[in-house]
Amino acid sequence: MVAIVAVLVLALVGLYARAAARTNHVALSQSPKPVTTVTVTAASFQHAREYVGITAPWVEAKVGPQYVSAYVASVLYRPGATVRRNDVLATLDCRFTAAASRETAAHARSMAHRQRAQQHEAQRVQEMTAGGFASVNEVEQLRAKAEAESAQIESVRASLMARKIEVRDCVLRAPFDGDVLARFVDPGAYVRPGEPVMTVADRSTIIVAGDAPEDDFEAVAPGTQVAIDVRALKAKLRAPITRRTPRAEHATRTVHFEIDVRDPDRRIPVGATALLRVPVGEPEAVTQLPSRAATRNGDKATVFVVTSGVAHRREVPVVGYRGGMLSVPPKALPAGTQIVLDGRSLLTDGDGVQARPSETP
């Protein structure tokens, strides 16, 4: 019995010693906290203004009849087609207009024959006056009648020219090389002067148009280089501002500006969104850090700087933000400084940390 009791006592003592050895006698608040860190880097930053623009063709025309009303006989192209200058786009049923043109031409020829006959008659009567067989008054009357007939002929010829223009208006042709953007009618539709049949645009040069607040009038001066992000193409371009209106719109208090972009391959769609970034001022030296390594409040940001295993809370001014990176003055946060990236929410000023460099800043 004594031996059994001794064994049990020794077992209890061993278990107590083991449990005591595994007990943490240091408060959790005093133990180093695991965090990931990142090192701030030197860079340059330039302030910029950002606007939303839109792409438009250099030339765009709505093609339709200008003088006649008629039924559409044929429409030869659909949106997306490429056409050359003077290609036939559509035709109208202008049989009545063509018949009226032929009638006017025949009337003009008839009057021309009659006018020549009157001139010859006046010439013969004038020859007869030398022998006393006709009076000078008869000659003058015949000449006046011939001149009046000549004036009527000119009037009919002018009318004939108008008829010919109407006949030509029945064949709608491409005014320039370009692409068909829209088709408004199909064969059988009735169109009137001014109603478009289709829209043709020249996309060899694209206009990127934007509007800036009047305070940025100098920022969008012609010649200023602009970074253009065409969202439809996921493409980034650079081009200078070509022109700027010298006035601000009364309703919006904005200034309109345009950028000409050469696009011989016609890749850029029209009517697409373009994000415009216009630099302002000169580049300045800064240090950059990931935005998720700081808590930003207006033009200030709070970071935790790690020095000798201790995290120190520091508030620094923000110069700017771009692409997920904050830029701060080098004096406030010199390049090479180690700051906490992950684990900031558990820290207070002066906490000890167990730092591990982050693999994905």
In a structure prediction context, what are the per-residue pLDDT tens digits for the chain, which is 361 residues long? Answer: 777 777 777 777 777 667 666 655 554 455 788 888 899 999 988 888 899 999 999 999 999 988 888 889 999 999 999 999 999 999 888 765 545 556 566 555 666 666 666 566 666 655 666 655 556 566 566 666 666 666 666 665 656 565 555 657 788 999 999 999 999 999 999 998 889 999 999 999 999 999 999 999 999 999 999 999 998 988 889 999 999 999 999 999 999 999 999 999 999 999 999 999 998 888 889 999 998 889 888 889 999 999 888 889 999 999 888 888 999 999 989 999 999 888 888 888 888 888 888 776 5
pLDDT in tens, 106-153: 555 666 666 666 566 666 655 666 655 556 566 566 666 666 666 666
Among the listed residues 44, 55, 311, 344, the one whose alpha carbon sits nearest the alpha carbon of residue 181: 55
- For residue 36, the one-letter residue type is T
Sketch the domain layout of the chain as residue ranges: 31-43+284-357, 50-55+202-279, 60-92+170-198, 95-168
Angle in degrees, CA 66, 57, 252, rounded to 5:
95
What is the 8-class DSSP label of residue 162? H
Considering only the C-alpha atoms of the chain, give the largest distance between any 2 of them, rounded to a whole number of Å: 183
Q: Rounded CA gap, 315 and 296, in Å? A: 9
Architecture of domain 50-55+202-279: Beta Barrel (2.40)
H/E run at residue 166 = helix 136-168
pTM of the model: 0.63
Q: Which fold has domain 60-92+170-198?
A: OB fold (Dihydrolipoamide Acetyltransferase, E2P) (2.40.50)
Residue 38 CB contacts under 8 Å (≥ 6 apart), including other chains? 289, 290, 293, 338, 339, 341, 357, 358, 361
CATH number attached to the domain at 31-43+284-357 = 2.40.420.20
H/E run at residue 307 = strand 300-307
The count of other CB atoms within 10 Å of the CB of residue 198 is: 25
Give the chain's length.
361
